[in-house]
């Protein structure tokens, strides 16, 4: 792995109650990935020249505008944007999906599986909710059936990789079915982007959303990328400067900008965008196949652990059942120096289905699961430590 993709703080150590001093094993990349060097370097280099984007003619403003737009171009390349696509910087995936949800043509039917993260479940107005599928074939059949009775504009909102099971969904097959019925597709790539090279056309995605903080750029920028037409016809996401082209003397006398500016009202998050652009640039040049192979080897180290998820490939995210997941996660952190996550991972319907909890069980009552997730800095030793700790706790 090149230096620029080295994790900052990979050598973080923690003191354990038994007196041992160990390297902290961060196995919670799916929540937020630690920063890589190239993101920090890009920010450090820009800060001395930092200024307001698109607003001034001075040196700082010019440099900032240049870097902001350069980041947009890199993200477009990273995602394989096509003519007619645009890249809008948002706060995160949640923001990106909410923006698209507010930009749908009137009367659009949205179709979504119950297994989605809440960010891809809740923004859609009155969605047609399909039960979380158990296998790819069932998913494709369910979408085809749902779309056969839909008239007018339609959107299938689907995750690229589950934040609970790590399963990589057959987005292309689902997109082919959706497109055959005249529907568009948005891919929630929050968990796919850090692991798998992305290409809008190859995915069959009309839109894609991702978060910088899961992609090693923890400065609060996300992305909505995809077809410009719906986005240009929609009301601006935020009313204000930047989004407006001309403002007259009377209330309502305003024309709105087109393109990304329409939905980036106010001063944008330059630092976040530049950090994200820098990571995308480094990943474009990295040997992604080798990174994927490394991750698959890490997953192989969990052989023997009973993981949720079906017979589809997965990214480095695994969930498994233990009694009292929150208690176990706390013990792993305190006594073993291992950072994992417990709960329902903002995917309540899916976790309820996986655990067989009552459909009324909310956050507080459903038992939830334990989740470990890997990324660029993860090592075989991290996985071994987790497995050993689970043995030690008699959970395996």
Our finding on whether 195 is near ligand PMP (CB under 6 A) is no
Q: Which is nearer to ligand PMP, 191 or 269 (CB)?
A: 191
Quickly tell me which residue has 């305003």 as its tokens: 254
Which residues have CB under 8 Å from 125's CB, separation 6+?
101, 104, 110
3-state secondary structure 1-44: CCHHHCECCCCCEEECCCCCEEECEECECCCCCCCEHHHHHHHH
How many residues sit close enough to ligand PMP to count as binding (CB under 6 A)? 15
Encoding tokens for residue 30?
A: 């799916």
Contact mark string toward ligand PMP, 224..263, x via CB under 6 A: ----------------------------------------
Q: How many CB atoms lie within 10 A of CB 64?
A: 24
Instruction: State the catalytic residue, choosing from 81, 280, 346, 363.
Output: 346
Contact mark string toward ligand PMP, 273..312, x via CB under 6 A: ----------------------------------------
Our finding on whether 318 is near ligand PMP (CB under 6 A) is no
The answer to whether 168 touches 196, Cβ cutoff 8 Å, is: yes
Determine which residue in the list 65, 108, 211, 373 makes contact with ligand PMP, applying CB under 6 A.
211
Handedness of CA 284, 289, 294, 299 (dihedral sign): positive
Q: Which is nearer to ligand PMP, 30 or 231 (CB)?
A: 30
Determine which residue in the list 25, 27, 88, 93 makes contact with ligand PMP, applying CB under 6 A.
93
| C-alpha distance from residue 61 to each of 46, 58, 68, 244, 262 (Å) | 11, 5, 10, 20, 20
Instruction: Look at residues 161, 207, 170, 174 and name the one whose alpha carbon lies nearest to residue 347.
Output: 161
CA 135 to mean position of chain CA atoms: 22
Contact mark string toward ligand PMP, 368..387, x via CB under 6 A: --------------------
Q: How many CB atoms lie within 10 A of CB 359?
A: 9
Q: Which is nearer to ligand PMP, 30 or 243 (CB)?
A: 30
Our finding on whether 120 is near ligand PMP (CB under 6 A) is yes
Our finding on whether 159 is near ligand PMP (CB under 6 A) is yes
| 59/188 Cα distance (integer angstroms) | 37
**CB 136 to ligand PMP: min, Å:** 17
Contacting range for ligand PMP; rule: CB under 6 A; set: 34-42, 115-123, 229-237, 364-372 = 115-123
Our finding on whether 28 is near ligand PMP (CB under 6 A) is no
Contacting range for ligand PMP; rule: CB under 6 A; set: 166-174, 185-193, 274-282, 305-313 = 185-193
**CB 209 to ligand PMP: min, Å:** 7
Helix, strand, coil % over all residues of the chain, rounded to 5: 40, 20, 45
| 122/97 Cα distance (integer angstroms) | 9
**CB 347 to ligand PMP: min, Å:** 8
Contacting range for ligand PMP; rule: CB under 6 A; set: 8-16, 92-100, 144-152, 290-298 = 92-100
Contacting range for ligand PMP; rule: CB under 6 A; set: 6-14, 49-57, 105-113, 186-194 = 186-194
In degrees rounded to 5, what are phi and psi of residue 234? -80, 160
346 counts as catalytic: yes
Encoding tokens for residue 83?
A: 């003519």
166-197: b (≥16 Cβ within 10 Å) or e: bbbbbbeebbebbeebebbbbbbbbbbbbbbb
**CB 30 to ligand PMP: min, Å:** 6
The answer to whether 224 touches 209, Cβ cutoff 8 Å, is: yes
Q: Which is nearer to ligand PMP, 273 or 389 (CB)?
A: 273
Q: Which residue is nearest to ligand PMP (CB)?
A: 163
| 396/390 Cα distance (integer angstroms) | 6
Q: Which is nearer to ligand PMP, 144 or 312 (CB)?
A: 312
Our finding on whether 94 is near ligand PMP (CB under 6 A) is yes
Q: Which residues bind ligand PMP (CB under 6 A)?
A: 30, 92-94, 117, 119-120, 159, 163, 188, 190-191, 211, 213, 346
Which are the catalytic amino acids? 346
């Amino acid at each position: 792995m090149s230096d620029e993709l080295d994790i900052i703080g990979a050598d973080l150590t923690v003191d354990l109650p038994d007196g041992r001093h160990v390297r902290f094993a961060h196995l919670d990349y799916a929540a937020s990935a630690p920063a890589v060097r190239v993101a920090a370097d890009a920010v450090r280099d820009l800060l001395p020249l930092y200024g307001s984007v698109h607003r001034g003619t001075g040196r700082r403003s010019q440099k900032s505008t240049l870097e902001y737009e350069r980041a947009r171009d890199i993200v477009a390349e990273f995602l394989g944007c096509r003519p007619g696509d645009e890249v809008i910087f948002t706060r995160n995936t949640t923001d990106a999906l909410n923006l698209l949800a507010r930009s749908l043509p009137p009367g659009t039917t949205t179709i979504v599986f119950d297994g989605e993260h809440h960010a891809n479940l809740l923004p859609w107005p009155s969605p047609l909710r399909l039960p979380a599928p158990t296998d790819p074939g069932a998913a494709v059949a369910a979408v085809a059936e749902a779309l056969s009775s839909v008239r007018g504009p339609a959107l299938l909102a689907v995750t690229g990789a589950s934040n609970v099971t790590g399963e990589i969904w057959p987005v292309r097959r689902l997109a082919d079915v959706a497109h055959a019925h005249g529907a568009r597709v948005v891919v929630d790539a929050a968990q796919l982007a850090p692991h798998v090279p992305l290409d809008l056309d190859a995915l069959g995605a009309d839109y894609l959303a991702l978060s910088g903080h899961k992609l090693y750029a923890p400065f609060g920028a996300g992305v909505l990328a995809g077809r410009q037409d719906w986005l240009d016809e929609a009301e601006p996401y935020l009313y204000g400067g930047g989004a407006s082209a001309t403002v007259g003397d009377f209330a309502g006398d305003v024309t709105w900008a087109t393109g990304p500016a329409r939905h980036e009202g106010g001063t944008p998050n330059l630092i976040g965008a530049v950090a994200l652009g820098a990571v995308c640039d480094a990943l474009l040049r990295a040997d992604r196949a080798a990174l994927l192979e490394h991750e698959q080897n890490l997953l192989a180290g969990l052989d023997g652990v009973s993981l949720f998820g079906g017979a589809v490939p997965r990214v480095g995210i695994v969930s498994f059942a233990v009694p009292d997941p929150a208690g176990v996660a706390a013990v792993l952190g305190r006594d073993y120096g291992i950072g994992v996550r417990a709960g329902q991972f903002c995917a309540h319907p899916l976790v309820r289905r996986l655990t067989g909890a009552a459909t009324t069980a909310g956050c507080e009552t459903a038992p939830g699961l334990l989740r470990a997730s890997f990324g660029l800095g993860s090592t075989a030793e991290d996985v071994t430590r987790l497995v050993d700790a689970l043995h030690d706790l008699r959970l395996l």
